[in-house]
Amino acid sequence: MNGFHTLMYHEIVDREGYDRAKYKGIKVQQDYYDVLPEGLFCFKDEFEKQMTYLYENGYTTLTIEQVVDFYYNNKPIPEKSVLLTFDDAYKSVLLNAYPILKKYNFHAVCFVVLGWLFDKEQKYTKDYSVCMSGDELLSMNDVFEYCNHTDLLHIRKGMESALQTEDKDTIMADLSKCEDFVTTKKIFAYPFGLYKKENIEWLQEFGTLLAFTSFDGFNTKETNPLELHRNACLLQYSINDFIKMLEV
């Protein structure tokens, strides 16, 4: 069956010296505080094993253009394909994931929260999920393309996200601001994977071609391109768990 898995990453960290008890949460430009769930971290050594497995087993790391062509231009994608995605633009991606991706000549997507990017480079620390600066982010453009993850709406409002609670005009203006920055247009990832029916309609009106959830699963021609599946590559996964995920 022609289709693909989308793999979702956030923080790629060294196993040595890792201590969740010392973790203090995110550090971003926007005046907003949150804590990244531990499951959304991935150890660098495991990440390297995962990328080595994809390389040695002949996987294609897709571009957004290939996915758009699959859904809108009736073009098949290579039989063994994955889309690699990294959310929020944390500095650990630059330090730990980027060199590995580059080594294998892999392609990846970063979903950017524009309002989180620092104007000036921040010191990397294991105690925080530190966001990159705009310049740091764009320095990876030989591997990454950059897509919309909102400007200032990646924030929690109780059990919902700001995307679910703000009015249409606010959301459209926010999307436009991030869209002006990103390199690949009309591609979106729902903050926290949360959304309501109206959000899909507004994204459609905005001209969005692909939108990514955080629900597991294999994407086929039948999958709604505005509700695409993504599999989180979790901290507790062994390489066998990773391989099993790709087989589902």
The phi and psi torsions of 41 (rounded to 5 degrees) equal: -85, 160
CA-CA distances (angstroms) from residue 193 to 8, 146, 212, 225?
11, 18, 8, 15
What is the per-residue pLDDT across 96-109, written as a single tens digit (0 to 9) for each? 999 999 999 999 99
- Residue 63 DSSP symbol: -
Q: Name the pLDDT band for 111 (thresholds 50, 70, 90).
A: very high
Question: DSSP per residue over 111-149, as a string?
Answer: EE-GGGSBSS-----TTEEEBPBHHHHHTTTTTEEEEE-
What is the per-residue pLDDT across 202-218, written as a single tens digit (0 to 9) for each? 999 999 999 999 999 99
Average pLDDT over residues 67-83: 97
Among left, alpha and beta (phi > 0; psi -120 to 50; other), residue 226 is: alpha
What pLDDT score does 217 carry?
Answer: 97
The phi and psi torsions of 160 (rounded to 5 degrees) equal: -110, 170
**Count of domains in the chain?**
1
What pLDDT score does 1 carry?
Answer: 74
Helices 239-247, 44-56: crossing angle, 10 deg rounding: 50
- Residue 90 DSSP symbol: B
CATH number of the domain bearing residue 112: 3.20.20.370
Single-letter residue type at 86: F
Strands (E), 154-242: 156-157, 160-161, 187-189, 210-212, 219-220, 231-232
What is the average pLDDT score of the chain? 97
What pLDDT score does 241 carry?
Answer: 97
The phi and psi torsions of 245 (rounded to 5 degrees) equal: -60, -40
What pLDDT score does 109 carry?
Answer: 98
Q: Are 174 and 152 in contact (CB under 8 A)?
A: yes
Q: Name the pLDDT band for 76 (thresholds 50, 70, 90).
A: very high
**β-strands 160-161, 156-157: how paired?**
antiparallel
What is the per-residue pLDDT across 64-73, written as a single tens digit (0 to 9) for each? 999 999 999 9
Average pLDDT over residues 165-189: 98
What is the per-residue pLDDT across 124-156, written as a single tens digit (0 to 9) for each? 999 999 999 999 999 999 999 999 999 999 999
Whether the predicted pLDDT of 248 surpasses 90:
no
What pLDDT score does 172 carry?
Answer: 98
What is the per-residue pLDDT across 6-29, written as a single tens digit (0 to 9) for each? 999 999 999 999 999 999 999 999
What pLDDT score does 23 carry?
Answer: 98
What pLDDT score does 137 carry?
Answer: 98
Whether the predicted pLDDT of 38 surpasses 90:
yes
Calpha distance 245→126 (Å, rounded): 28
By residue range, what is the domain housing residue 178? 3-247
Q: Name the pLDDT band for 201 (thresholds 50, 70, 90).
A: very high
Q: Residues 6 or more apart from 21 whose CB is under 8 A from it?
A: none
